[in-house]
Structure 1
Amino acid sequence: MSSILTNNGAMVALQTLKTINSRLATTQQEISTGKTVATAKDNSAVWAISKVMEADVKGFKGISDSLNLGQSTVAVARQAAETVSDLLTDIKGKIVAAQEENVDRDKIQADISALRDQISAVVGAAQFNGLNLLSNVSLTAGSGEINILSSLDRSGTGVTASDITVGKQDLATDAQAIQATGGTFTAAGVTGTLNATQTVTLDLSTLTIEAGKAFAIQIFGTDADDSTFTQADYRNTAAAAMTQAEAAAEPMAYVARDGDTAQDVAKILAEKWATYLAANNLDSNVLDIQASGSGLVLTSTVTNATDLIAVSVATVGADAGNTIGGRLAGLADVDVTTQAGADSALASIEGLINTAIDSAAAFGSAQGRIETQLDFVSGLTDALKSGIGTLVDADMEEASARLQALQVQQQLGVQALSIANKAPQSLLSLFQ
């Protein structure tokens, strides 16, 4: 049946042409935007995933900036620490030269003083954007380290930031100060006695370590007839118990800084004992103190049941207002103008050199880790971008071929619609 009111052929041709035009518009949009999923209506699930990944890419770009800043800061500190190590090595050469009696020790001391001033200048200049990792004298908790943003960790519960923590390594030469009065004073925080038992360990892990708290070694040897050792030589206090005033004046003392552990305090006190031993010409067979982990190992080969040596570690609380000194403050005590001073300086310089070497090594390790993370973040960012492209980018070769095919289909659709629209005209012949 033919009808002038309903043209089924035209309706079919029209629907086909609409479909072709819709697909052609989609293809043209892909070509113009370069994406198959440009908006949420194109594919809401894929669009949502791509937007989350794009946000992560933006975040990782910020992380790269943070890592670059941190790397530069640590690199400056590492270079300065290496320079300080070299300068300390030069000082050691001067000290060794001063061991010879037929030298001008005053001129050698002048050279040492100049090198010491140079170390102070290097440490003071070792800052990047106002941050100096070679100075750590603040009493504020957490000020002994910096956190460098290194990653974003996404999980089902959300996103968390990860940091690379870099500890400050103080190489300043400023002197410490312990208050002679006030605050919380403990005469014997830990104590041990060498008698017939010739090896004892003082466990410093039982003490609270905090910035500004001072630790001082107290020695009180007893040998009534001075047959085994001269008891006066192995006493650094007037009585068996140290007073706070004596702790304040004691060379074998250390004011802890933020980030220090019992192991750090033990190591530094052992180094100060080595210097004290050489400066006072004492016999290590009578008393030797070595650091072992968080403890001080006391040894003697001469004590017995009656001839004994008591060693304690006294503490002066941070509430006393102690001043934290630089880790290289011992340079101020280096004086080679006398033979005794030269001997003492040779003992102390080893510990100072090790301090600088350990600091440079710590910064080098941190810098290596930052560089590794930078490479990882760069690769991860590229992988995320590639993944986003796989999800939303258009295949331009395919789009080009599809465009040409759709254009041909569009022309044929228009032709088919034109033919269908002319079909009712044949009905006019029935009425002629």
Structure 2
Amino acid sequence: MSALQALRTVSGKLQKTQIQVSTGLRVATASDNAAYWSIATTMRSDRRAISAANDALGVGAAKVDTAYAAMSSVVEVLSDFKAKLVAAREKGIDLDKIQNELDQLKSQVLSISQSASFNGQNWLNTDVEDIYDPDNNKSSVVGGFTRNADGTVVVNSIDYSMLQSALFNSTGGGMLQADPRDLKTIGGLRFDYGNGLMSTYSLRNTGGWGPTDFNFDFSSPITFGAGDSISFDVTADQDNPADGITPPYDAGQTTSIVIDAARVNSALGRTDGTIGTYKEYAAVLRSALVGSGLTATTYTRFEPPGQTQTWVDVPDVVGIVHNGLASKDGSSMAISNVSFNGVTQANQIAPRAVAYGTRNSEMTLDFEPFTVYADVVVSMRLRVDGSYSNLSFDKDFADLALGKDNGKVETSAEMATLLTALVNRPDVIAQASGSGTVSLKTDPLVDRKSGEKSMIGIDGISVNIEPVPTMNFLDVDVARNPEMIDGYINYIETAMGRVVSGAAALGSLQSRIELQSNFAKHAMDMIDKGVGRLVDADMEEASARLNALQTQQQLALQGLQIANSQPQPLLSLFQ
């Protein structure tokens, strides 16, 4: 019985060792080591998932490689396209033949974009409802498999915005298409300025101006002796009741002016009290009018008339002009109580009735519907008289002001509502003045500024996405529009810059995918190594143990045979 028990023990150990040697595993089943077996089984499953993700990454790499190759080819074609446009500027060249070449290049770009497809996906010729919506324009490739510390698993992806590579999109917005985000005139706050190829605009501004000059002839020199003088009163910056402001009305500032020998000598640096020329007369008047709100000037004109190169003096004409008083709201000037004492009156200062400047604190916008897209920010500066305010709005602001969710400003009334919310000043009124116009003005009950002191305007408009193309690449036609060749050159330069940026983005994605693929391979190696440490058998030790156990088994069998044979002589005695 002892020999049989020894044989059984040795056989059990031998079987276990044989399994380790044949499988190479120290922990082959949960009964060998439940904890290690569980970890190893999970990690082997994760390794297979990482391997599958890496295979999918290879598909993504092929997709990116296809798009990058196509973008690089498009850059080359656009370079040739630009060269043809530059050649089209040469005088006497046949523009029809140039256009034929351009049409072929356009067809080549379109063909490249349409054929840049891998596994049914095309990143150059897209079909995205809103190419600027990050949720719509997103494409991705599987990047990896991760198990978090809490046991949850995540399939990682590498996201890519097709906005970076779409040359043509079914709903517009491709890099070689007109950009639908173009705000155009922003409802009339600016007007189109340029060739219509790019979003270039001038700003809407308006302002008042001062009263018309008082002009006087200077016919001969004037000499002031002792006791000689010219005296008069000037009144500046009375309020004008016709401007619609409420009373009381400011009477302005009246200043008494005296010109005598002392004034002449002081202004001209002389000692004889003589004004010899009209320019000297203007200098004396300027000296006398300091602080009155008026000043004096001489004039120039173009010579010959109609050209804009040569200025010449207008001889013997002196003007008294409005200079303005910062302490007053009005804009006016008047001359009264003129008196000549000892000097000739002819062709000199004469009384002038009050002349008012023109108030202009209202601007009319020619409204044009527009849409504010997500991520578009419009910044500007509002000037009201002499003060400035910085303003900005985006899609969220417009939607909140109008109670919408689509960023659309569709009527002049909605534009007025948007401006009211944007300006947010009680002294500025925005209202629809017609189906296609919007009025932006100051309230005369609050704003009393007149003349050149009155102004309302918008300047410094900045749209964060501009300049953007407002035409399509496929519409370039030098034969029909030879006057737009320079504009076409500028357009294609901008378009090329966008395409080059798109190719760079694809190149960066290629590098990212390669790094991720290398990491996945390394991760699989590390998993294999880690699992091996947990469950792999030591083959040298297992082989040695197998030999020893086989020897022990043979000895146990011999022992059992001996034990079985020894009782035979004793049993024979009982026969």
The TM-score range, normalised by the shorter chain, is: 0.5 to 0.7
CA distance in 1, matches of 2:471, 2:206: 35
**For 1:28, which of 18, 41, 45 is the aligned residue?**
18
Residue equivalent to 2:376? 262
Change in Cα spacing, 1:26 to 1:176, as seen in structure 2 (3 Å) is closer
Give the aligned partner of residue 367 of structure 2. Answer: 242
> What secondary structure does 1:150 align onto?
strand
Aligned-pair distance for 1:56? 0.4
Give the alignment partner of residue 143 of structure 1, picking from 124, 136, 144: 136
User: How far, CA to CA, are the matches of 2:188 and 2:500 in structure 1?
Assistant: 30
Contact in 1 for aligned 2:126/2:169 (Cα 8 Å)? no
Structure 2 residue aligned with 1:87, among 77, 82, 86?
Answer: 77
- Which one is further off, 60-69 or 379-388? 379-388
Mapped contact 1:170–1:327 kept (Cα < 8 A)? no
Q: Is the 1:189–1:313 Cα contact (8 Å) retained in structure 2?
A: no
What TM-score do you get using the length of structure 2 for normalisation?
A: 0.49
8 Å Cα contact 1:81/1:360 also seen in 2: yes
CA contact (8 A) 2:469 2:491 kept: no
1:342-400 superposed Cα distances (whole Å, 9 cap, x missing partner): 11111111111011101111111011101110111112112212322332233333332
Q: Hey, what does 2:167 align to over in structure 1?
A: 171
2:87 aligns with 97
For 1:161, the equivalent position in structure 2 comes to 155
Residue of structure 1 in register with 2:340 after alignment: none
Q: Distance in 2 between matches of 1:308 and 1:130?
A: 53
Where 1:152 maps in the other structure, the secondary structure is: strand
Q: Please tell me whether the aligned partners of residues 148 and 164 of structure 1 are also in contact (alpha carbons under 8 angstroms).
A: yes
Checking the alignment, whether the CA contact within 8 Å between 1:149 and 1:162 is kept in structure 2 is: yes
Aligned residue type for 2:157: D
- How far did 1:43 drift? 1.7
Residue equivalent to 2:42: 52
Aligned equivalent of 1:389: 532
SS at structure 2 position matched to 1:240: strand
Are the aligned partners of 1:17 and 1:410 in contact in 2 as well (CA < 8 Å)? yes
SS in 1 for 2:472: helix
Residue-by-residue CA offset, 1:258-307 (whole Å, 9 max, x unaligned): xx7438x99xxxxxxxxxxxxxxxxxxxxxxxxxxxxxxxxxxxxx9979
Letter in 2 for 1:343: D
Residue 67 (structure 1) aligns with: 57
- The 3-state SS of whatever aligns with 2:153 is strand
Letter in 2 for 1:172: F
Q: Which amino acid in 1 is paired with 2:492?
A: I
| Residues 1:223 and 1:340: Cα distance change in structure 2 (over 3 Å) | farther
Q: Over aligned residues, Cα RMSD in angstroms?
A: 4.0
Q: Which residue of 1 aligns with 2:561?
A: 418
Change (3 A) 1:174 1:26: closer
Equivalent of 1:117 in 103, 107, 111: 107
How far apart are 1:122 and its partner, in Å? 0.7
2:545 is aligned with 1:402: yes
Structure with a larger share of its residues in helix = 1
3-state SS, counterpart of residue 106 of structure 2 = helix
Q: Which runs of 5+ in 2 are unaligned?
A: 174-182, 192-198, 209-362, 380-452
Aligned to 1:298: none
How far did 1:147 drift? 1.9
Q: Is the 8 A contact 2:204 2:457 kept in 1?
A: yes
Partner of 1:372: 515
User: Does the C-alpha gap of structure 1 residues 415 and 95 become closer, same or farther in structure 2, counting only changes over 3 Å?
Assistant: same
> Which residue identity lines up with residue 148 of structure 2 in the other structure?
S
1:146 corresponds to which letter in structure 2? S
CA offsets per residue over residues 121-172 of structure 1, 9 Å max, x none? 1111111111111134522652311122212221232112221111112112
Relative to 1, partners in 2 of residues 1:110 and 1:306: Cα closer, same or farther, differing over 3 Å?
farther
Deviations 1:305-356 (CA, angstroms, capped at 9, x unpaired): 9797657689xxxxxxxxxxx9895313423335521111111111110111
Amino acid at match of 2:521: S
- Does residue 360 (structure 1) correspond to residue 503 (structure 2)? The answer is yes
CA contact (8 A) 2:78 2:492 kept: yes
CA–CA distance in 2 between the matches of 1:173 and 1:423? 98
Q: Which amino acid aligns with 2:477?
A: D
Contact 1:50 1:391 in 2 (8 A): yes
The Cα shift of 1:416 comes to 2.6
Distance 1:399 1:43 in 2: 17
Name the CA distance, whole Å, in 2 between partners of 1:365 and 1:392: 41
SS at match of 1:153: strand
CA distance in structure 1 between the partners assigned to 2:15 and 2:555 by the alignment: 17
| TM-score scaled by length of structure 1 | 0.64
Whether the 8 Å contact between 1:134 and 1:170 is mirrored in structure 2 is: yes
Q: State how far apart, in whole Å, the 1-side matches of 2:495 and 2:185 are.
A: 28
Residue in structure 2 matched with residue 42 of structure 1 by the alignment:
32
State the partner residue of 2:474.
Answer: 332
Q: Which moved more, 1:148-157 or 1:16-25?
A: 148-157
Q: Structure 1 unaligned runs (5+)?
A: 1-9, 178-184, 194-215, 226-237, 248-253, 267-303, 315-325
Kindly provide the amino acid, as one letter, of the partner of residue 48 in structure 1.
S
Q: What is the CA–CA distance in structure 2 between the aligned matches of 1:429 and 1:170, rounded to whole Å?
A: 104
Q: Could you tell me how far 1:44 is from its partner in structure 2? A: 1.4
Instruction: Specify the code of the residue in structure 2 equivalent to 1:347.
Output: N
Q: What residue number does 1:282 align with?
A: none
What amino acid is the match of 2:376? Answer: A
Deviation per CA, 1:80-105, whole angstroms, max 9, x where unpaired? 11111111111111111112213222
Task: Show the counterpart of 1:19.
Answer: 9
Structure whose alpha-carbon radius of gyration is higher? 2
Higher relative contact order (CA 8 A, sep 6+): 1
